[in-house]
Structures are given as C-alpha cells and as structure tokens.
C-alpha cells in the first residue's frame, strides 16, 4: 500500500512539476518584458533606482501560491493521499524539475541570451533560499529623488498666479475708471443742463430722425459728446468731454509720471455773415506753441507770439496770437480779463477764426485746392484737479460756459474798421497767391493728365469707327496739332512808322 501511494505521489508530482514549469517560463517571460519597460523608464529619469530583488520575491510568492493551490487540488482529486504532505518537499522537487525543464527549453529556443538570464535567476533562487531571519529583516528602502521640474506643488504656478492677479487688477480698474468717467460726465451735464436749455432750442441731438435719448452720447469709455442747435447766428455747438483713460491701467500708470487733466472742448460754428475776417487766439504757453505748429490758420495768419501785458494779463501764463490788433482790444474786455485771471488754471486756450480748416497738412500730402474754411469759436477748458474725487468742484465751471455765450454775442456785434478789413483782405489774397504759386506745377500735371485721358478716349473712339474717311480726317487733324505743338513760338514786335 505504501509503494502504491508513493508511485501515485510521484506521478502527481511529475505532472504538477510540468505544469508549474510551463507556468514559470511564461511568468518569467512576462516578468522580463516588464523589467525591460522599467529599465527604459529608469534611463529617462536619472534619479530613479530600482530594487534588484523585488522580482525574485514576487516569483517566490507566486510559486508558493501555485504550489499550495496544486496540492489542494491533488488532495481533492485523490482522497487516499496523506493529509500531512510537506509543502517544502514539493518546492524542492519543483525547483529541481523546473531547473531540468528550463535547461531543455533553453536548448530548443533561438534566443539564447534571454533564457540564459532565466536559468541564472533560477539558479540564484536555488542558492539563495529565504529563511525565517531574512523575512523578519526590514527591506532596505531608498526614497527616490524626484527632479524639481516633475514635482507638482503650488510654487510651480507662480507665473500663472501673477497673470491671474494682473488680470483681476486690470478688470477692477476698468470697471472703476469707467464708472468714474461716467459719473463725472453725468454730473457736468446735470449742472449745466438748465443753462444749455435756456440758450438752445435743442440740447442733445443723437443724429436720428426722432431723438430717442436726448443728452450726452458716449463715444468711448473716456469721451462724451453733446450737440446743441437752435440759436440765432449759430449753426450748432459741439461739446466734447475728454476725460483721462481711467479704464486703462497702462494709462493710469503713465499718468503718475506725466500728469494731465480732464478737458472739455466747445466748438461753436457760426453762420457765414456773423463774423468779420480775423484770427484771434489766447492760450497758455504750452498750448500756444502746439497750436502755432498744428493749426493751419494760426500758422498762416498768426506766426508771431505776443505777450498780453498791455491788456492786463501777465506773460507768465498766457500768450497772444492775433492777426488784427484792434480785434484783441475789443474781445479782451474787462469781463473776459477778470475770468482769465480767476480761472487761469482751467483755461487752456480760446480761439476765434474765420479761416478754420483743421490741422495743418503734412508735406507728403499736398493739395491742389484751397481747403474749405469755416467760422468757428473754439474753447478748451481744463477740469479742476480735484474734480475726479470731489464732484462739487465741477459746479465752479459754470462761469466758463457763460463765457462761451458772452463771446458768441460779442463776436456777432463786433465789426472791424475800414483799415482792419483792408488788412485782412490783403492777408487772405497774399495767402491765396502763395498757394497758387506753390501748387502751379501740380495743377499743370493734373491738367496734362486730363488732356491725355481725353485724347486716349477720343483715339479709342475713332479706332472703333467703321468709316475710313472719318479716321483719315482725324489723323490729319492730330498730325497738324502735333506739328503746331513742336513749332517754336515766335513773338511779333510791332514797330511804329516814323
């Protein structure tokens, strides 16, 4: 009975060892592939260190699990088998059989190097069998040093945080600056609405057939306009509120280094016969220099800058640009002088002209026609420096709007003397002659181009003509014209008989 049981045990052990050997080979092949992938990843990360003995521990664990499961299956199949089977003996037999099986497999395979590593690993596993003391020892673990660029912490996103903070500050400043400009414009209009309605029939024309929203028109976040009409001798008045670009954070920062003020410009367009012919301007020093270079009428008729000392104003604040001397004496009366002294910080310039044609054209864009001129009164006032914080300071600007209406009535009543009118006419005639001389060659070129275009059209028309007689007559006519053009002109002198 013992011999039969030993024979059955050997048969079962041989079958088990074969199954385990094949499983071992497949497991080792998969493990080698995994180790190859891990080795590639280890070459990319310099600080990565692999545990050399982890794979063998996993193989031992797998072998233990497989051997115990196999023994249980065999015991379930053979009820006569002894229950006290030693698992360590199966492991020893398994290691011997697997080594023999692996050696025979290595000879049949083509890839010798791959399975030589497998046999070496199996031999090393036979030589180094784990003991109880080895299992009790703690493994020597090494903490992998991850490179700084692979770490995920909040310090890696400092650039994103700075950009987000900058965007938040920009949008907060945009909303705050836009609301401040809107509030300043509404405050100015509410304060001056009554005065504007008393002087004009229509206040706040929006350009539509039926006015929907009478009042200020928002051109941009910092520019507001107001159109008024319906006054004697006045075609219309345009009010432009030009505030600082408080909604733009970059402009706010530059304003700290180069401060500027909010400004209002009022342009009054007069009728043709309302104003005499003269150009008059009084401005601050900085603005006078700019106007003399940029404005076409001031640059042409008022090239000299004068001091208004004889009119009661100091030359430290204002500069006079005047064409006719008597015009300055009448327009700068006592009331205007008192306002100029009182609001010298708010008044930028006052410009009266009958030759307003806008800014001076550059030399690169010449014109062959005299620009169209208008009679305009232009006023530029600066807002008080504290008006953006204290809106009550805008109330102090009401006398400046009263100065506009006073100047309209003053210009309408004022008439030049005979000498002043003759001087103004001579100045305008001189400017016209100079313009014609400078543009003579250009006008000749334009006329030549027109003649050539006319001849080209006529020639095409005759070429399309079917009558040969008409073509012959046209060619003779062109031939005579060409001879006449090439013949030098001779002047005839008439001599009187004695």
H or E segment to which residue 268 belongs: strand 263-270
**What percent of the chain is predicted at pLDDT more than 70?**
65
Query: Which residue, 327, 350, 329, 330, is CA-closest to 278?
Result: 327
pLDDT of residue 176: 92
Res 13: pLDDT? 58
The predicted model gives 241-247 an average pLDDT of 92
Q: Residue 482: its pLDDT value, please?
A: 75
Q: Which helix (H) or strand (E) holds 284?
A: strand 279-284
| Residue at token pair 């180094």 | 128
The pLDDT value recorded for residue 376 is 92
**Residue 326 confidence (pLDDT) above 70:** yes
Helix residue ranges, H only, 45-86: 54-77
Tokens of 326: 């008597």
| CB within 8 Å of 312: residues ≥ 6 apart | 337, 341
DSSP helix/strand/coil, 298: helix
Region 451-460: mean pLDDT is 80
**Whether residue 497 has pLDDT greater than 60:** no
Identify the band that residue 61 occupies on the pLDDT scale cut at 50, 70 and 90.
low
Please give the average per-residue pLDDT across 371-379, as a whole number: 89
What is the band of 46 on the pLDDT scale with cuts at 50, 70, 90? very low
Segment holding 401, helix H or strand E: helix 398-413
Per-residue pLDDT at 455: 79
- Is it the case that residue 235 has pLDDT exceeding 80? yes
Average pLDDT over residues 179-188: 92
Q: How many helices (H) and strands (E) does the chain have?
A: 15, 9
**107/49 Cα distance (integer angstroms):** 34
Give 228's strand partners.
Answer: 203, 237
Location of structure tokens 């697997």: 98
**pLDDT higher than threshold 50 for residue 123:** no
Distances (CA, A) of 251 to 177, 342, 381: 11, 31, 21
Scanning 1-144, the segments in alpha helix (DSSP H) are 2-44, 54-77, 87-108, 112-127, 132-136
Comparing 493 with 386, which gets the higher pLDDT? 386
CB-based burial label for 387 (10 Å; 0-12, 13-18, 19+): buried
Q: Sorting pLDDT into bands at 50, 70 and 90, what band is 474?
A: confident
| Alpha-carbon span 475 to 79, nearest angstrom | 133
Confidence of residue 274 (pLDDT cuts 50, 70, 90): confident
How much is the pLDDT for 316? 80
H or E stretch at 351: strand 347-356
**Position 217 pLDDT exceeds 70:** yes
Single pTM value for the model: 0.61
- For 346-366, the pLDDT digits (tens) are 999 999 998 888 887 766 666
Predicted pLDDT at 204: 85
Q: What is the pLDDT of residues 2-35, one digit of tens each?
A: 443 445 455 555 655 665 666 666 666 666 665 5
Res 52 pLDDT > 50? no
High-pLDDT (> 90) share of the chain, %: 20
Residues 6+ apart with CB under 8 A from 396: 384
């Amino acid at each position: 009975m013992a011999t039969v049981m030993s024979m059955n045990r050997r048969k079962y052990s041989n079958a088990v060892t074969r199954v385990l050997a094949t499983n071992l080979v497949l497991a080792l092949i998969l493990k080698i592939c995994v180790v190859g992938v891990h080795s590639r990843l280890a070459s990319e990360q310099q600080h990565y260190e692999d545990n050399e003995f982890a794979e063998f521990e996993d193989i031992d664990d797998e072998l233990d699990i497989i051997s115990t499961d196999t023994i249980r299956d065999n015991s379930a199949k053979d009820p006569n088998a002894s229950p006290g089977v030693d698992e360590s003996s199966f492991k020893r037999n398994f290691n011997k059989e697997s080594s023999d099986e692996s050696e025979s497999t290595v000879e049949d395979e083509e890839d010798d190097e791959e399975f030589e590593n497998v046999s070496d690993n199996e031999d090393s596993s036979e030589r180094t069998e784990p003991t109880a003391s080895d299992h009790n020892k703690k493994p020597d673990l090494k903490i992998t040093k991850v490179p700084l660029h692979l770490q995920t912490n909040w310090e890696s996103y400092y650039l994103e945080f700075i950009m987000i903070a900058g965007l938040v500050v920009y949008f907060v400043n945009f909303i705050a600056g836009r609301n401040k400009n809107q509030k300043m414009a509404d405050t100015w209009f509410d304060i001056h609405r009554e005065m504007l309605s008393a002087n004009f029939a229509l206040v706040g024309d929006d350009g539509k057939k039926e006015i929907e929203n009478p009042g200020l028109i928002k051109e941009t976040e910092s520019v507001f306009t107001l159109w008024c009409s319906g006054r004697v001798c006045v075609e219309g008045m345009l009010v432009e509120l030009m505030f600082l670009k408080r909604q733009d954070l970059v402009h706010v920062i530059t304003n700290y280094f180069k401060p500027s003020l909010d400004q209002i410009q009022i342009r009054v367009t007069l009728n043709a016969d309302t104003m005499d012919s003269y150009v008059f301007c009084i401005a601050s020093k900085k603005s006078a220099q700019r106007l003399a270079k940029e404005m076409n009428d001031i640059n042409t008729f008022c090239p000299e800058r004068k001091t208004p000392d004889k009119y009661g104003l100091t030359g430290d604040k204002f500069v006079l640009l005047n064409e006719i001397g008597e015009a300055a004496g009448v327009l700068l009366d006592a009331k205007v002088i008192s306002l100029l002294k009182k609001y010298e910080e708010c008044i930028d310039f006052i410009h009266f002209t009958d030759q307003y044609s806008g800014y001076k054209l550059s030399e690169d864009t010449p014109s062959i026609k005299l620009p169209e001129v208008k009679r305009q009164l232009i006023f530029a006032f600066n807002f008080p420096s504290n008006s953006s914080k204290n809106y009550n300071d805008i109330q102090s600007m009401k006398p400046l709007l009263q100065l506009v209406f006073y100047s309209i009535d003053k210009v309408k009543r004022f008439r030049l003397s005979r000498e002043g009118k003759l001087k103004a006419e001579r100045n305008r005639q001189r400017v016209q002659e100079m313009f014609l001389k400078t543009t003579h060659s250009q006008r000749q070129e334009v006329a030549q181009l027109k003649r050539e275009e006319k001849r080209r059209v006529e020639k095409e028309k005759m070429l399309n003509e079917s009558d040969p007689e008409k073509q012959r007559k046209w060619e003779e006519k062109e031939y005579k014209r060409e001879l006449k053009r090439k013949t030098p002109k001779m002047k005839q002198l008439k001599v009187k008989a004695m």
